[in-house]
Structure 1
């Protein structure tokens, strides 16, 4: 089911995760801002949830790829 993640190149996944995870670079990355809002309980608007999903998805794919790579050796 997740074999498509194995076919992605590390370089590509890492680049996309860094670019989308840190965008916009100033004043504060959206992903960090949304995670702080989630922790504070202020992540209530649909746009905020969408931002969290869009900026966090590549980081999640990178984490899954790392876990799958660690299991297979």
Structure 2
């Protein structure tokens, strides 16, 4: 978990805003994949890969935030 401590906040936030939300129009890709997941339409391997790829920066952001709060 020391890896999370070495990541600067601005890099994590930038990754969320770029990779996490790209492409921006007509809607963010992560939002499209989450809607597909909720509808039960997320079945193709490429769609699952897209969800993981675009969701990873948000998972890192959440983990870093949780680690920061728990550290005091």
TM-score, length-scaled by structure 2 = 0.96
RMSD: 0.6
Secondary structure of 2:51 counterpart: helix
1:43 aligns with 2:72: no
Q: How does 1:1-73 map to 2 (within 5 A)?
A: 2-73=1-72
CA distance in 2, matches of 1:69, 1:63: 10
- Structure 2, unmatched stretches of 5+, are none
Cα deviation code 1:13-49 (max 9, x no counterpart): 0001111111000011110000010011000000000
- Structure 1, unmatched stretches of 5+, are none
